[in-house]
Structure formats: structure tokens, C-alpha cells
Structure 1
Amino acid sequence: MDLMGENHPVIGIVLFVVLLFQPVLGALHHVMFKKYSRRTVWSYGHIWLGRVAITVGMVNAGLGLRLSQETRLFAPSQGAVDAYWVIAVIIWLVYMASVVYGEIKRGRSSGKGGVDTPPRYRQAEGEELRQYA
């Protein structure tokens, strides 16, 4: 049975290949953030690739359940598939709410309309103020 024409395996392979870039983008984000003390294009690439990959992965899992029903390789009940979608949507909504909340909080805490700055720490008596990135 050839399943490579189906959406689930194609999306899974593309997602796997795309995610090979995630550690590279993460390393570039780290190096550039330490250098410039703010997010760079590499940071946003790492962040958004991760967010999109999580979403696509959740959808692809549901497509895999549907495909398994159609091919009868592993036939989950319709109730199990429906439960997956309900739980996946709830988790995705909570995830998106936390992303939005985090970005709003990040923008407020920087005091510069969302410009990224590393955290500042209070100095001890007789010690100069340091920044950590």
C-alpha cells in the first residue's frame, strides 16, 4: 500500500526536514542576542518556525489518525479522533494565548514599545550595575 501520495506522510517529511534548521536558528539566535542584546532576524526565524511547526504538527497528527481510519492500519474509533481534535484545539488555544501574553508582557517590560533588551539587575552596595544576556 503506497501512502506517499497522502497528505499526512508528505507533511510529516516536509516538517521533519524544516525542523532540521531549528537548532541552527536557535544557535544563531543565542549568538546574535548576546552580541546585540536584542532579537534579530535569526531570533524571529527560530521563534516563528517553532510556532508554525507546533501548529502544523498538531494538524498532521489529526490527519494521521484520519488516514489510519481510512487504511485500517490502526483504526481508532471516531470518538478517539474527535477527542484528539477537541484536546488539540484546546491545547493550541492555550498555547496561542500564552504566546500573546508573553509578547505583550515582553513589550511592556522593555518600556520601549517592544524593543528587546536584556534584563537589568539591581547592584549590590559598591558594585557596578551589570547586564546579563
Structure 2
Amino acid sequence: MVALFPSGSILMRILHGRLALWMHALTQLMGLVILLACVGLGIHLVQEVQASGLDLFKEPSVNYHPIIGLVVAACLLLQPPLGLIHHAKFKKLQRRQIWSHLHMFNGRLAITLGIVNGALGLWIAHASSKVKTAYVAAAAAMWAIWMLTALWSEWRRWRTAAQAEQRRKSAGAVSF
């Protein structure tokens, strides 16, 4: 998960045209299916623990992990409809709308929360130091690559718009 969702976002930024859209959508949908399976497993584990007399949602030292997991799942379930609305509006108007920004912000928030929640899950599970270190290193590297790709893409988008504006102004200038 720490690599799948960011990779889907990166593909949207580095590929072009329909290929970018389809690779992004397929990667993110595959991630969503896996996430929902993980949520199902998490709910099952919480019920198993409750059967033993302990309620994880009432245990302050561990209750944040399942709660954050459910919030991440809810945010990511919103992504397909937001993405479809964004795509339809963008295709029609050729510019970003509120749906575009909601889709990007919600995705960035959910993925970042999910990465943090993965580390919290390892801490709760008392994973070895090597496992936690490997996860944090891989997650930090993936998050950094993902964010740098997003920043590069936005800069490239801004630069292209600025160049088009400059050409428009130059074409409209009259020289004597």
C-alpha cells in the first residue's frame, strides 16, 4: 500500500493522454480493492480481540490505528466518484475545477494518513526494529518521490501556462 497508491498518482504525472488516465485509474482501483480487504481483515481482528474481552476501540494506546484506518478507507472510497467528476469537467472545460482540487487534496491526505497509519500499525503489533526501520525508510522515500513528482508536475503545468500567456501577449503586440 505504501508504494501502490503513490505509484498510481506518479503514473498520472509522468505518462500522457489516455494511458496516464487508465494506468492511474487501474492502479488506484487495485489499491482500493487491497485496502478494502485490509479493512475487512482489521475489522475481523478487532472482533476477535473483543471476543477475548478486550475492546480495541476503548484502549487509548491502540484505538487510533483502526479509527485512522477507517477514515483513510472512507476518504479513498470518495476518490473514484471525485475522479470521475473531475475527468468529466476537465474534459469539457479544459481546466481544473473544484472537483479537481478535492480529488487531489483528498488523495494526498488519505495516502499520507495511510502511510503514517501503517507505521502506527507496526508499532502496535510490536514489530521488530528492523521491520519498522525498513517500513519508515521505504515509506519516506516513496512519499518524497511522490511529492517531488507532484511539485515537478505542477511547476511544469505553471511554466507551460506562463509560456502560452507570453506567446499570446507577443502575438497581440503591434510593432511600429
Both proteins in one fold, TM over 0.5: yes
Alpha-carbon shift at residue 112 of structure 1 (Å): 6.3
Unmatched 5+ stretches in structure 2: 1-53, 166-176
Q: Distance in 2 between matches of 1:40 and 1:20?
A: 20
User: In structure 2, do the counterparts of structure 1 residues 10 and 113 end up closer, same or farther at CA, with 3 Å as the change threshold?
Assistant: farther
> 4+ residue runs of structure 1 moved beyond 3 angstroms?
none
Match of residue 81 from structure 1 = 132
Q: Which fold has the larger relative contact order, with Cα–Cα distance below 8 Å and residues 6 or more apart in sequence?
A: 2
Unmatched 5+ stretches in structure 1: 70-75, 115-133
| Residue-pair matches, total | 108
The code of the aligned residue for 2:137 comes to V
Give the number of the structure whose residues are more often helix, by fraction: 2
CA RMSD of aligned residues (A): 1.8
1:14 aligns with 2:71: yes
Identity %: 40
Q: Distance in 2 between matches of 1:78 and 1:50?
A: 29
**Contact 2:82–2:99 (CA under 8 A) maintained in structure 1:** yes
Question: Given the alignment, which residue of 154, 160, 171 partners 1:109?
Answer: 160
The code of the aligned residue for 2:131 comes to A
Per-residue CA deviations over 1:30-60 (Å, capped at 9, x if unaligned) read 1111221100000110011111111111000
Q: Distance in 2 between matches of 1:33 and 1:55?
A: 25
